[in-house]
């Protein structure tokens, strides 16, 4: 079931000043959690969610939106908890190909606890795990692609400091509660049939059709699909 997220808690958080970025990493993350947890709690309860429930992240480059989905403990399906505006991205439509090309990747990524970077120069950050197996198969290079604070991007998703505190805290809590890894799916745009038709002559249309298989699988069931790489393509396992 798709729930429309409330913005009241998010608005309150945005009015608050983010914690001091000069704090050591662990202290910075702890201070951020202490600041945002009370602001998140009313909306979590409204959606029948708890702090620590599993998280799934989905972003759209064209729309500059990052969605944070969570799974209630009494449900198989994820629900939409927050839609965050992305403050800054970089590059053009299409995947990241090489170190230094300033492209935000497109594809299916994931991170475990080691992907959390509380000592980032961009306040708090999450390493999405680029390059993945697909990228390596195709000889793509690059590193340290993050979802982070601030409003500056060189191939990353910049979310502002107050918003990354929410995202980081919810991801950290989910991993602490036993989620083994968190999926991050990055798309060039919302992959509706109409938008795909409009892109039918684009150089990356074949790649995007492959991404749409994963997009459609989630749209149909609100469960992040299992995705592997076979023969140089993403394979969606039902």
User: Would you say residue 69 has pLDDT above 50?
Assistant: yes
In this predicted model, what pLDDT tens digit does every residue of 118-172 receive, in sequence order? 999 999 999 999 999 999 999 999 999 999 999 999 999 999 999 999 999 999 9
SS (H, E, C) 20-76: CCCCCHHHHHHHHHHHHHHHHHHHHHHCCCCCCCCEEEEEECCCCEEEEEECCCCCC
User: Would you say residue 1 has pLDDT above 50?
Assistant: no
User: Would you say residue 6 has pLDDT above 60?
Assistant: no
Q: How far apart are CA 127 and CA 116, in angstroms?
A: 6
pTM score of the predicted model: 0.92
Q: What pLDDT sits at residue 60? A: 98
Residue 16's pLDDT band (cuts 50, 70, 90): low
Token pair for 205:
């249309």
Helix, coil or strand: residue 81: strand
Q: What pLDDT sits at residue 81? A: 98
The distance from CA 171 to its chain's CA centroid, rounded to whole angstroms, is 10
Sequence spans of domains, the chain = 8-188
User: Would you say residue 11 has pLDDT above 90?
Assistant: no
User: Would you say residue 203 has pLDDT above 80?
Assistant: yes
Residues 6+ apart with CB under 8 A from 48: 72, 74
User: Would you say residue 237 has pLDDT above 90?
Assistant: no
Residues 6+ apart with CB under 8 A from 219: none
In this predicted model, what pLDDT tens digit does every residue of 164-199 receive, in sequence order? 999 999 999 999 999 999 999 999 999 999 999 999
* CATH architecture designation of domain 8-188: Beta Barrel (2.40)
Residue 13's pLDDT band (cuts 50, 70, 90): very low
Q: Which residues are catalytic?
A: 148, 156
Residues 6+ apart with CB under 8 A from 162: 13, 14, 16, 17, 18
Residues 6+ apart with CB under 8 A from 12: 39
**Helix, strand, coil tally for the chain in percent (to 5):** 30, 20, 45
99-122: average pLDDT = 97
Other CB atoms within 10 A of residue 24 CB: 10
Q: What pLDDT sits at residue 175? A: 98
In this predicted model, what pLDDT tens digit does every residue of 19-60 receive, in sequence order? 999 999 999 999 999 999 999 999 999 999 999 999 999 999
Q: How far apart are CA 141 and CA 222, in angstroms?
A: 31
């Amino acid at each position: 079931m798709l729930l429309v997220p409330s913005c009241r808690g998010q608005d309150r958080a945005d009015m608050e000043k983010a914690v001091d970025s000069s704090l050591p990493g662990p202290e910075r993350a702890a201070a951020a959690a202490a600041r945002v947890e009370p602001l998140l709690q009313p909306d979590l309860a409204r959606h029948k969610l708890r702090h620590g429930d599993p998280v799934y992240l989905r972003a759209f480059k064209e729309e500059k939106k990052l969605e944070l989905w969570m799974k209630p403990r009494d449900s198989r399906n994820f629900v939409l908890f927050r839609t965050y505006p992305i403050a800054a991205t970089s590059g053009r439509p299409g995947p990241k190909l090489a170190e230094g090309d300033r492209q935000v990747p497109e594809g299916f990524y994931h991170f475990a606890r080691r992907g959390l970077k509380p000592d980032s120069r961009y306040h708090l950050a999450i390493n999405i795990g680029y390059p993945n197996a697909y990228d390596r198969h195709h000889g793509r290079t690059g590193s340290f692609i993050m979802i982070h604070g601030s409003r500056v991007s060189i191939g990353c998703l910049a979310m502002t400091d107050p918003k990354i505190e929410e995202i980081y805290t919810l991801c950290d809590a989910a991993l602490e509660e036993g989620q083994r890894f968190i999926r991050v799916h990055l798309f060039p745009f919302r992959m509706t049939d109409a938008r795909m038709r409009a892109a039918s002559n684009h150089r990356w249309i074949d790649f995007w059709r492959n991404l749409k298989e994963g997009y459609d699988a989630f749209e149909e069931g609100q469960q992040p699909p299992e995705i592997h790489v076979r023969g140089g393509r993403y394979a969606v396992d039902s």
